[in-house]
Amino acid sequence: MLTNILKKFFVKLIKIVGFEIIDQNQFKSPTLNKELNEQLSNINKSIVLPLGEVKLNRKISDLLIIFRTNSNIEIWDQNKKRIFEANKIEYVKRSLNSLINAIDNLNKNYSSIKINLVIVDDKSKKENLDKIINILDKTNINYELINHDNSEHKKIIKEQESVDTFSNLSSLLKSFEVGKNKGKDLIYFIEDDYLHFRYSLEEMIGTYERIASQLDKELIICPADYPFLYMNNEKTNLLIGNKRHWRTINKSLCSFMTSKKILEKYWNNFYQNCLDRHDPFEKYLNQIYESEVCISPVKSLSIHMTNINSSYGLSPFIDYKRLWDENEQMPN
């Protein structure tokens, strides 16, 4: 009995001074009152065994998600068909369903974060736009729909060989402008052909807090483990995130999460990237990664639903069919 009293006293004392006890014999933490295979991290610290804890100095308070849609164009700048060869609106719907599912999971695990969703739509047909709105109206998500008019940027963006290219540049610039004007902390720019795993946003937020606290730097986080990252045998650094490994990268596409501080600091890069079609398309975005940390997950948290042979699309070691089927309908 005396032994038990002393143990309880010791546990309380350890908690008071801010440490945690790991009992490998019983496979639990008495101070956290959890089994070791449970989520050990909390609001103040990120805990990954056997590496210990990271005090979270960079806490996320607000997340603005900007979902950029165009349900009219099957695949921009390509004649190829996407995996499963459905109409574009089907990819938009399933991407939105998966994103809503991820938002719901994030709300449950990070209830203190305020989440807002903005849809920047590029002239979708009314029947398609109605389908998007129907999905959104069945949720409790605070959202805004912007019907973007490309003529807004007619005097800013250089004339392009195709209307679709101009449209793509214009909607991208509009998304960046919305992020700059409406963002408060983190901003997630995401396109309409990415299927998310339910835990994706939770992992991205948890990883942002952990690594940004470790490095004392703002980050750029990509949601996907793209095939092109493995084609040139480039050196990388592996980092420990919330529940998986992440790798440093020096190139991205136009879907990523970053902070308003990064957006404001490199606004000229974001702006210049949209004024003309470059080679690569993300030329001025990639320049940012020469000075800032950009990371992608290993393995992927979302899947870019392109043609199966695209180096910018399907991530390796993923059950694409299962993820596609799971997001046919919005979760109840």
Question: What are the 10-residue block averages of pLDDT along the chain, 332 residues in total?
Answer: 59 64 73 76 76 88 97 76 94 98 96 97 93 95 96 95 94 98 98 97 98 97 96 91 96 97 98 97 97 97 93 92 93 60
In sequence order, what are the beta bridge partners of 62?
114
Same-domain check for residues 181 and 200: yes
- Would you say residue 331 lies in a domain? no
Domain boundary among 32, 55, 78: 55
Residue 7's pLDDT is 61
Same-domain check for residues 198 and 321: yes
Same-domain check for residues 157 and 220: yes
Q: Is-contact 285 270, C-beta < 8 A?
A: yes
In sequence order, what are the beta bridge partners of 143?
117
Handedness of CA 240, 68, 105, 90 (dihedral sign): negative
Residue 331's pLDDT is 61
Q: How many domains does the chain have?
A: 2
Q: Domain span at residue 215? A: 62-326
What is the rounded distance in angstroms from the CA atom of residue 84 to the CA atom of residue 305?
9
Same-domain check for residues 146 and 84: yes
- Would you say residue 78 lies in a domain? yes
Torsion of CA 2, 8, 12, 17, to 10 degrees: 70
Go through the chain and tell me how many residues it has. 332
Same-domain check for residues 158 and 181: yes
Same-domain check for residues 36 and 98: no
Residue 18's pLDDT is 65
Residue 35's pLDDT is 82
Same-domain check for residues 250 and 150: yes
Dihedral pair phi/psi, residue 318, rounded to 5°: -125, 140
Same-domain check for residues 266 and 190: yes
Same-domain check for residues 40 and 144: no
In sequence order, what are the beta bridge partners of 298?
245
Domain boundary among 55, 84, 100: 55
Same-domain check for residues 43 and 135: no
Q: Is-contact 118 147, C-beta < 8 A?
A: no
Same-domain check for residues 29 and 109: no
Domain boundary among 55, 80, 96: 55
Its pTM stands at: 0.92
Same-domain check for residues 73 and 39: no
Q: What is the CATH number of the domain that holds 299?
A: 3.90.550.10
DSSP 289-308: TTTSEEEEEES-SEEE---T
Residue 156's pLDDT is 96
- Would you say residue 123 lies in a domain? yes
Q: If we measure between CA atoms, which residue out of 223, 131, 195, 199 comes closest to residue 325?
A: 195
Kind and range of the H or E element at 109? helix 88-109
Dihedral pair phi/psi, residue 177, rounded to 5°: -65, -40
